[in-house]
């Protein structure tokens, strides 16, 4: 266990506000943190949050919309986002598209609403499109904030994010040497969703100081999906003397982008997202996704993959059967489970996870 | 091209098959009468020109049986820009239409279960499940589907198609063209249109390679011209329902829309819809309404419930309710004016960004409000389709606005367009009864 205090979202919002910064509530998944930071806007991401009472959202959304969107909307309607200055809705899937549209047309929040369309394929036309989309948002933010950060300022923020991405990769690579439970590891990692870069960086650096030489002698698992919520899933894995060695999750690894090449800040931000790790919401091919997950398994010597799906999440559903088959052919065992982020893990799911870990341990 | 395939194609489709189908149509047209169990007490007879719908569809699927090796085959999404492929001589198959046909023939569930057995979740779109099931099991009510040589997926209806077509590309190992259309929250931006245009231009090379020939721009213009003509006729057919009583119901439109989806760009489709329009005008002249005792006029939002069309049509007609307008059937006509024959690629880029499903929830509400006024409607049935999230999200707010601001009765009807497990007859009947009471 590390003795490090990670501030809560609320504390961060209050502190940043007191410094005169604006706060953007950002829905999942991809966006350029650096663009917002250049305008002195602190992004605070809204992944649910889990265990939210979703009754308020029920007036706007049917029951077959995923719990991430249900909770995200309820959270807003309950007034928890009253303190923020902007609401950002990336176009990650049909349900988030709907959320953005409902906000704009019916709920009409008092805050500025920013939508981002994310291109689906990995090519240079898409980089160009996204760069233009980011320029459009730049204009919107300039109007809101009353100033236009220059290219130098944008590049500075981009470099900071790139540095952090490199550090995050280092953190992942040291996972096996860190005396952290999976819950602790992901609590640290996910604090990036709302911490200013310097704070997040210092927490990571501190944690890395505690990396030991000896590797964890536990069964490593790759966790794939949207987000590890409820976090009890991590405890269930750890309780089996196993641990999440690395992940293919939307809130974490899928957003660890590579450095861009372009010297134009907009193109560079766009390159980073478009060329980032494969992600079902970006419609990457099966081969790209398989190769990526396999590389995670190889890197960490993980013994199996758990696909942890949010119920009603179509982008993820479509990939499971073929990915499972491909992994099976490569002798990598996998398990598919699903849950609602607002529900406790059912006993049956816990039993399946335990049985899976026992099996892969016996087979290895 | 394989000579054997070609001979088989010419004989089985071009000569014998087509002839047989045409003879049947002639006979059916001449001796036209409603099907045996048709409720003539509450409904006008089906459109006589409807026999041509059957003919067009029968020919289409028959050609599909023999087309492999003769023409390049493309599988495309329902909102895809098919004009380029058409001009290159592709045989085009719409898995969504095939899915609808499976639904209407009540075999969609059995086929979907084939996909479910392989791990495809029951919570993914039931069209996709039907299509993946048909791909995996080869089950289809049309005999046989031709394998694709190319896949064309356009995200202007949903993102779901992107993942679905990835599955198809993986299974068939053929090129996949993705035309990604940025979602229009209010107005499309210049860079949105430019982005789509570039993708369309890039798609030409891939399509030409598969087709083994170059695109003729004069042919493309001709296809766009025919496509536009057919869409305009379709729009006129739908607008004819502004008359009282409405000459055809939306349930009829669901059946007769197949050619505008899968055969647009063909001269036969233009001929077909102009014949249909003549028959509809004739009905108007003679004061014939689709529902005999049209007391109330309502709108349908979202996809049809394919396996319950007859049930819903009769149940509503029994109560004098005619469904006269629909955001769904309207989608294949409303964009016709945007097509510019002289600038096909540019206008396609613009047109294909604007389908109702690629626009905001507020735009859909506006479309419904306009329909309520122009068609003089008393109510709206919003099919909350658990399979189709992009169409369904927003309906709860839309319903309230229709109710509170326009004062029309509005019902949210929970079901699924292709999965009968989401439909409970008695529950639906009582919801509809309550809705009808609201209108009285
Ligand atoms: S969980 Fe899936 S469906 Fe829900 S918001 Fe995320 S990507 Fe969309
Ligand atoms: S999700 Fe809706 S728009 Fe997309 S394929 Fe299914 S029915 Fe069609």
Intervals of CATH 3.40.50.11900 along chain A: 214-363
Report in angstroms the alpha-carbon separations of B336 from A197, B136, B174, B241, B357.
51, 36, 31, 18, 16
What is the interface size between A and B, counted as CB pairs within 8 Å?
Answer: 145
Class of the domain covering A9-149: alpha beta
Task: Give the C-alpha separation, B376 to B384, whole Å.
Answer: 23
Two tokens, residue B304:
């049809």
pLDDT confidence of residue B1: 67
What are B113-124's pLDDT values in tens digits? 999 999 999 999
Q: Which is the closest atom of ligand 1 to the Cα of A67?
A: 4
Report DSSP letters for B93-113, one per residue.
E-HHHHHHHHHHTT-HHHHHH
Q: Which is the closest atom of ligand 2 to the Cα of B126?
A: 6
Quick one: pLDDT band at residue A182, thresholds 50, 70, 90?
very high
Q: Which domain holds residue B413?
A: 3-439
Contacts of A59 in chain B (CB under 8 A): 396
Give the up-direction half-sphere exposure of residue B190: CA atoms within 13 A in the CB hemisphere. 3
Write out the H or E segment, with its range, that includes residue A42.
strand A41-45
C-alpha B168: how far from chain center: 21
Task: Give the C-alpha separation, B69 to B312, whole Å.
Answer: 42
Contacts of A97 in chain B (CB under 8 A): 159, 183, 390, 393
Other CB atoms within a 10 A radius of the CB of residue A163 amount to: 13
Q: Name residue A42's beta-bridge partners.
A: A23
Write out the H or E segment, with its range, that includes residue A300.
helix A286-300
> Which whole number is the average pLDDT over B229-238?
96
Which CATH number is associated with domain A214-363? 3.40.50.11900
Residues 6+ away with beta carbon under 8 Å from A348: none
Residue minimizing CA distance to atom 7 of ligand 2: B388
Nearest-Cα residue of chain B relative to residue A318: B163
Contacts of A318 in chain B (CB under 8 A): 120, 124, 128, 160, 163-164, 166-167
Question: What average pLDDT does chain B have?
Answer: 96
Residues 6+ away with beta carbon under 8 Å from B271: none
Instruction: Ligand 2: list residues with CB < 6 Å.
Output: B 96, 125, 127, 157-158, 160-161, 303, 357, 387-388, 390-391
Nearest-Cα residue of chain A relative to residue B397: A60
Q: Is the pLDDT of residue B250 over 90?
A: yes
pLDDT confidence of residue A48: 87
Question: Euclidean distance between the first and final Cα of chain A, in Å?
Answer: 28
Intervals of CATH 3.40.50.11890 along chain A: 9-149
Q: Name residue B9's beta-bridge partners.
A: none
Of B123, B178, B395, the CB nearest to A283: B178
> Which whole number is the average pLDDT over B401-410?
96
Number of domains observed in the structure of chain B: 1
pLDDT confidence of residue A213: 72
B251 Cα–ligand 2 center, Å: 19
Report DSSP letters for A144-213, one per residue.
HHT----HHHHHHHHHHHHHHHHHHHHHHHTGGGS---HHHHHHHHHGGGTS-HHHHHHHHHHHHHT--S
Could you give the ipTM of this predicted complex? 0.95
Query: Is the Cβ–Cβ distance between B329 and B304 less than 8 Å?
Result: no
> Which whole number is the average pLDDT over B282-303?
97
Task: Give the C-alpha separation, A361 to A364, whole Å.
Answer: 5
Task: Give the C-alpha separation, A282 to A120, whole Å.
Answer: 5
Q: Is the pLDDT of residue B381 over 80?
A: yes
Of A93, A101, A129, the CB nearest to B361: A101
> Which whole number is the average pLDDT over A2-17?
90
Task: Give the C-alpha separation, A322 to A116, whole Å.
Answer: 30
> In this structure, which long-range contacts are made by residues B409-412, counting pairs with CB atoms below 8 Å and at least 24 apart in sequence?
B409/B298, B409/B378, B409/B379, B409/B380, B409/B435, B409/B438, B409/B439, B410/B379, B410/B380, B410/B381, B410/B382, B411/B379, B411/B380, B411/B381, B411/B382, B411/B435, B411/B438, B412/B382, B412/B384
Task: Give the C-alpha separation, B260 to B276, whole Å.
Answer: 12
Contacts of B394 in chain A (CB under 8 A): 98, 101-102, 105-106
Report in angstroms the alpha-carbon separations of A277 from A111, A288, B70, B330.
32, 9, 40, 40
Query: Is the Cβ–Cβ distance between B211 and B88 less than 8 Å?
Result: yes
pLDDT confidence of residue A1: 63
Two tokens, residue B358:
């690629």
> Which whole number is the average pLDDT over B58-77?
97
> Which whole number is the average pLDDT over A227-232?
95
B337 Cα–ligand 2 center, Å: 25
């Amino acid at each position: 266990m590390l003795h490090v205090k990670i501030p809560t979202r609320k504390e961060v919002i209050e502190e940043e506000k007191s410094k005169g910064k604006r706060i953007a509530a950002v829905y999942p998944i991809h966006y350029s943190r650096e663009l917002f930071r250049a305008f002195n806007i602190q992004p605070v991401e809204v992944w649910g949050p889990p265990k939210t009472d979703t009754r308020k959202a029920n007036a706007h959304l049917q029951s077959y919309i995923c719990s991430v969107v249900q909770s995200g909307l309820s959270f807003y309607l309950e007034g928890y986002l009253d303190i923020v200055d902007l609401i950002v809705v990336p176009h990650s899937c049909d349900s988030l598209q709907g959320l953005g549209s409902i906000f704009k047309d019916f709920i009409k929040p008092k805050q500025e609403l920013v939508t981002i369309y994310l291109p689906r394929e990995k090519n240079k036309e898409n980089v160009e499109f996204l760069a233009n989309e980011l320029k459009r948002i730049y204009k919107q933010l300039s109007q809101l904030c009353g100033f236009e950060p220059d290219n130098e300022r944008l590049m500075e923020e981009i470099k900071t994010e790139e540095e952090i991405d490199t550090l995050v990769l280092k953190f992942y690579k040291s996972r096996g040497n860190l005396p952290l439970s999976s819950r602790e590891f992901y609590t640290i990692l996910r604090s990036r969703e709302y911490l200013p870069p310097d704070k997040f960086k210092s927490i990571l650096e501190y944690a890395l100081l505690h990396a030991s030489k000896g590797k964890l002698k536990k069964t490593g698992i790759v966790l794939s999906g949207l987000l590890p919520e409820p976090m009890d899933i991590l405890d269930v894995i750890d309780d089996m003397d196993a641990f999440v060695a690395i992940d293919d999750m939307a809130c974490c690894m899928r957003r660890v982008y590579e450095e861009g090449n372009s010297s134009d800040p907009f193109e560079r931000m766009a390159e980073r997202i478009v060329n980032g790790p494969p992600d079902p919401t970006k419609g990457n091919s099966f081969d790209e996704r398989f190769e990526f997950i396999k590389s995670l398994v190889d890197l960490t010597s993980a013994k199996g993959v758990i696909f942890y799906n949010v119920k009603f999440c179509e982008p993820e559903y479509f990939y499971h059967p073929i990915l499972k088959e491909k992994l099976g052919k490569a002798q990598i065992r996998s398990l598919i489970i699903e849950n609602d982020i607002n529900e406790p893990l059912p006993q049956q799911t816990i039993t399946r996870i335990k049985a899976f870990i026992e099996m892969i341990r016996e087979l290895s | 091209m394989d000579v054997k395939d070609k001979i088989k194609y010419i004989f089985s489709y071009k000569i014998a098959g087509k002839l047989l189908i045409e003879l049947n149509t002639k006979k059916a047209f001449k001796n036209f009468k409603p099907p045996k169990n048709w409720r003539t007490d509450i409904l006008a007879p089906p459109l006589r020109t409807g026999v041509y719908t059957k003919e067009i569809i029968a020919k289409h699927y028959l050609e599909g049986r023999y087309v492999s090796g003769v023409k390049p085959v493309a599988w495309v999404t329902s909102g895809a820009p098919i004009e380029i492929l058409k001009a290159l001589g592709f045989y085009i198959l719409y898995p969504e239409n095939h899915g609808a046909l499976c639904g209407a023939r009540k075999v969609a569930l059995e086929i979907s279960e084939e996909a479910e057995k392989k791990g495809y979740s029951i919570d993914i779109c039931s069209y996709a499940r039907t299509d993946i099931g048909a791909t995996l099991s080869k089950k289809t009510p049309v005999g046989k589907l031709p394998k694709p040589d190319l896949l064309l997926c356009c995200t202007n209806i949903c993102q779901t198609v992107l993942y679905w077509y990835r599955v198809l590309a993986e299974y068939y190992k053929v090129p996949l063209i993705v035309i990604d259309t940025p979602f229009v929250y209010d107005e499309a931006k210049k860079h949105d249109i430019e982005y789509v245009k570039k993708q369309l231009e890039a798609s030409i090379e891939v399509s030409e390679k598969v087709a083994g020939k170059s695109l003729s721009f004069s042919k493309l213009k001709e296809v766009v011209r025919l496509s536009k003509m057919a869409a305009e006729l379709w729009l006129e057919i739908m607008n004819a329902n502004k008359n009282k009583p409405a000459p055809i119901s939306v349930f009829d439109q669901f059946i007769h829309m197949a050619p505008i989806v899968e055969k647009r760009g063909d001269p036969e489709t233009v001929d077909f819809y102009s014949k249909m329009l003549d028959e509809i005008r004739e009905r108007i002249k003679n004061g014939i309404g689709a529902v005999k005792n049209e007391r109330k006029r309502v709108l349908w939002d979202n996809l049809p419930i394919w396996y319950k069309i007859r049930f819903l049509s009769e149940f509503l007609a029994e109560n004098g309710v005619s469904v006269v307008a629909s955001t769904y059937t309207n989608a294949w006509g409303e964009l016709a004016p945007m097509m510019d024959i002289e600038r096909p690629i540019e206008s396609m880029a613009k047109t294909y960004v604007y389908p109702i499903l690629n626009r905001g929830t507020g735009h859909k509400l506006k479309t419904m409000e306009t329909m309520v006024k122009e068609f003089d409607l008393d109510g709206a049935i919003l099919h909350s389709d658990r399979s189709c999230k992009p169409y369904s999200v927003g309906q709860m707010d839309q319903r309230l606005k229709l109710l509170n601001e326009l004062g029309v009765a509005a019902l949210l009807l929970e079901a699924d367009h292709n999965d009968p497990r989401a439909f409970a007859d008695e529950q639906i009947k009582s919801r509809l009864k309550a809705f009808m009471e609201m209108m009285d």
